[in-house]
Amino acid sequence: MSLSSLTKDWEPMSYGFLDASAKREIRRKMLKAVAVPGCQMPYASREVPMARGWGTGGLQVSLTLVNPKTTVKVIDQGADDSVNAASIRRFLARVSGAPTTLDTLEADLIQSRHRIPEEKLRADQVLVLQVPNPEPLRPVQPNMSIARQMHADADYGRMWLQLYEQIVRSGRVMQGASYPSLVNGRHVMTPSPIPRWDVPKLHMAEHLTILSAGREKRLHAVPPFTRVEPLVFDDVPYKVEEHGELICGRSGAKGFFMNEIPQDDGTSTYEISDSDYGVKTIRQAEGAQVHLGETWYKNGELS
Amino acid sequence: MTIALDAPRLVQAQPLLTAQNVSKSYGDVQAVRDVSAEVFPGEVLGIVGESGSGKSTFLRMLNLEETPDTGTYTLDLPEVEGNLFELDRFARRMLCAKRIGIVYQNPHLGLLMNHSSSGNVAERLLVAGERRFTELRERASEALQASEFPLERLDAPPIELSGGMQQRVQLAKAIALEPALLLLDEPTTGLDVSVQALVLDTLKRLQQDRNITMVIVSHDLGVIRTLADRVMVMRRGAVVEAGLADQIFQDPQHAYTQQLVHAKL
């Protein structure tokens, strides 16, 4: 048996850049990840024409899921127009022939770095999150063999200890992103470095979320209608960022996650982080026929 | 080898800890040879012996960190039955977290050196399922206070504390859940004499106030004499003599024990 007898070089084998065996493996691992929500599944993680740490995990999942009819949207920190998002979007379109969009509502497949769009995702949409570090136990247990035993035993006491230490030292939970969350009452996962604002969007969501770390060669998933509960003390409630009262300086939108833009005089203005939602809000204000989807937050409160 | 221990005041009681015929080898080295022991509720068993005599290995087996080649180990507790060496990893962890406390000779083994002292104690409560911050804080403070740890240093990380203070944090962590059994592995080694005396006083007071069952391992006969009701002398992995502390110290029978006692005196 030789490598050439195992591998065929005909055209459809490399549709969407990845070869069929790589896709087959990632599909299997995605199915496993869906079957055991929040549990990390190792995968080989092929080379893609992008540096590790720039979204290779998310890209491999997207390349596996994409087909010529899939409408693809790529965002980076909420923005469609960042260099990274634009590069990945163009690459996906080039290798698969799939149409692309900036509109969350039109997309079938959304690859995102560090944000979940403000408009609610539907059951027919898939969200792929790029993950730099999939192991929530790493800050408390650097030995990955022991960390895996801790996952097997649901030994998550030290995750609360981390929160305890933050409250003792700073008076409040300081975990701004990658907030550890219990999935389906069993596995603690890191929801990728999305802000605390976005974590509740994963709870009992209609859409499938796949979280993939290319450098770390692991993926995990939050299937539709799955409980995602941020770790909290019974007497210290979970808090999202206080952005409810902030108003977007460009679109006038209020009650969404904002980017802070420091000004020369020391003050700050704010701009909605979900750039597509901001653009749609501006266009609607100008009188254009724009469909704004239902949002997870209304007036800064989770609906 | 089973040692019949003469403990008249406890003779009617059911032993809390029963270890029988425990042996453990590492390659060609037999670290523990056919050791049996019983410890009754509220009693302090001291294990003495020279370095390499197998006393710490035996203690680690009592803490379920090591599995022996042969032997059985039972605790007279409602939640466990049978040979504890046969428990799986998860059951061992839960039992140790809730019912067995340990203080190591080296605080680095028992503490998270860069976490707060109260956090170190809280960790034990968290493993047992406590999820209220205020409760964790209160109970950690109580345990540290019981260990005579200065509460103004409640949130200081152990790495900034002296050796004696680190041992107190370990002790607080060990007693936070009111363990049925407290294991102490050379708790005062490496401390200067005055600090040793303070830690021993704390241990003695805790034992008297809470009636904690203890197994203490030390090569220091003074420590054992201060704390133990009964003493087991180990040499080359085996028990050479066992009995009431006064008997052992006043009238040692085995030549090795005589040597130890006289060396000390």
pLDDT digits (tens, 9 = 90+) for A181-237: 999 999 999 999 999 999 999 999 999 999 999 999 999 999 999 999 999 999 999
A143 touches chain B (CB under 8 A): no
Which of A149, A153, A168 is the closest to B118 by Cβ? A168
Measured in angstroms, the CA of B6 and the nearest CA of chain A are apart by: 42
How many other C-beta atoms are found inside a 10 Å radius of the C-beta of residue A117? 27
Q: Which residue has the tokens 């909290």?
A: A232
Per-residue pLDDT tens over the stretch A67-94: 999 999 999 999 999 999 999 999 999 9
Per the structure block, which two tokens stand in for A259? 């980017």
Cβ-Cβ contacts under 8 Å, B122 against chain A? 161, 164
Give me the residues paired with residue A210 across strands.
Answer: A128, A221
Which of B118, B126, B132 is the closest to A157 by Cβ? B126
Per-residue model confidence (pLDDT) at position A1: 63
Per the structure block, which two tokens stand in for A83? 């260099």
Query: To the nearest whole number, what is the mean pLDDT of chain B?
Result: 90
pLDDT of A11 above 70: no
> What domains are there in chain B, each with its CATH number?
2-264 (3.40.50.300)
For B69, phi then psi, to 5°, come to: -75, -40
Rounded CA-CA distance B186/B165 in Å is: 15
Q: Which residues contact B18 (CB under 8 A, 6 or more apart)?
A: B37, B38, B72, B73, B74, B75, B76
pTM over 0.80, yes/no: yes
Rounded CA-CA distance A188/A40 in Å is: 10
Per-residue pLDDT tens over the stretch B147-162: 889 999 999 999 999 9
pLDDT band at B5 (very low <50, low <70, confident <90, very high): low
Rounded CA-CA distance A195/B212 in Å is: 47
* Nearest to A238, CA basis, from A161, A181, A159: A181
pLDDT of B8 above 80: no
pLDDT of A149 above 70: yes
Q: DSSP letters of A23-53?
A: HHHHHHHHHHHHHSTT--EE------SS-TT
- Taking CA–CA distances from A153, the nearest residue in chain B reads B90
Tell me how far the alpha carbon of residue A28 is from its chain's centroid: 20
Per the structure block, which two tokens stand in for B183? 């294991």
Count Cβ atoms within 10 A of the Cβ of residue A26 and give its class: 0-12 exposed, 13-18 middle, 19 or more buried: buried
Q: Do A165 and B123 touch (CB under 8 A)?
A: no
Q: How far is CA A281 from CA A108, A287, B104, in A?
A: 22, 10, 63
Per-residue pLDDT tens over the stretch A232-255: 999 999 999 999 999 999 999 999
Measured in angstroms, the CA of B177 and the nearest CA of chain A are apart by: 15
Q: Do A233 and B118 touch (CB under 8 A)?
A: no
Cβ-Cβ contacts under 8 Å, B134 against chain A? 235
Per-residue pLDDT tens over the stretch A34-59: 999 999 999 999 999 899 989 999 99
Per-residue model confidence (pLDDT) at position B210: 87
**Number of residues assigned to chain B:** 265
Cβ–Cβ < 8 Å for A278, A271: yes
Per-residue pLDDT tens over the stretch B172-187: 999 999 899 999 999 8
Q: How far is CA A155 from CA A136, A188, B95, B184, in A?
A: 12, 10, 13, 25
* Nearest to B170, CA basis, from B244, B243, B105, B239: B105
For A181, phi then psi, to 5°, come to: -135, 140
Measured in angstroms, the CA of B69 and the nearest CA of chain A are apart by: 23
The arithmetic mean of pLDDT across residues B24-28, rounded, is 94
Rounded CA-CA distance B71/B19 in Å is: 7
Cβ-Cβ contacts under 8 Å, B131 against chain A? 160, 233-234
Rounded CA-CA distance A281/A290 in Å is: 8
Tell me how far the alpha carbon of residue B53 is from its chain's centroid: 16
For A217, phi then psi, to 5°, come to: 60, 45
The arithmetic mean of pLDDT across residues A21-41, rounded, is 96
Cβ–Cβ < 8 Å for B216, B182: no
Q: Which amino acid, residue A270?
A: Y
How many other C-beta atoms are found inside a 10 Å radius of the C-beta of residue B233? 28
pLDDT of B113 above 90: yes
B123 touches chain A (CB under 8 A): yes
Q: Which long-range contacts (CB under 8 A, 24 or more apart) does B75-83 make?
A: B75/B16, B75/B17, B75/B18, B75/B99, B75/B180, B75/B181, B76/B14, B76/B15, B76/B16, B76/B17, B76/B18, B76/B41, B77/B16, B77/B180
Rounded CA-CA distance B26/B21 in Å is: 17
B122 touches chain A (CB under 8 A): yes
Tell me how far the alpha carbon of residue B179 is from its chain's centroid: 11
Q: How far is CA A146 from CA A21, A37, A276, B97, B242, in A?
A: 31, 20, 43, 17, 39
pLDDT band at B188 (very low <50, low <70, confident <90, very high): confident
pLDDT of B9 above 70: no
A165 touches chain B (CB under 8 A): yes
Q: Give B236's DSSP letter.
A: T
Alpha helices, DSSP H, located in B34-192: 55-62, 89-99, 107-110, 117-127, 133-146, 163-175
> What domains are there in chain A, each with its CATH number?
20-136+178-228 (3.40.50.11310), 241-286 (no CATH)
Q: Give A187's DSSP letter.
A: E
B78 phi-psi bin (left φ>0, alpha ψ -120 to 50, beta other): alpha
For CA atoms B56, B58, B60, B66, the dihedral sign is positive
A47 touches chain B (CB under 8 A): no
Q: In what helix (H) or strand (E) does residue A302 lie, and over which residues does it extend?
A: strand A301-302
A236 touches chain B (CB under 8 A): yes
Rounded CA-CA distance A63/A95 in Å is: 9
Cβ–Cβ < 8 Å for B130, B142: no
Per-residue model confidence (pLDDT) at position B3: 52
Q: Do A164 and B133 touch (CB under 8 A)?
A: yes
pLDDT of B264 above 60: no
The arithmetic mean of pLDDT across residues B128-133, rounded, is 92
Query: To the nearest whole number, what is the mean pLDDT of chain A?
Result: 93
Cβ–Cβ < 8 Å for A92, A118: no
Q: Do A169 and B155 touch (CB under 8 A)?
A: yes
B131 touches chain A (CB under 8 A): yes
Measured in angstroms, the CA of A149 and the nearest CA of chain B are apart by: 9
A164 touches chain B (CB under 8 A): yes
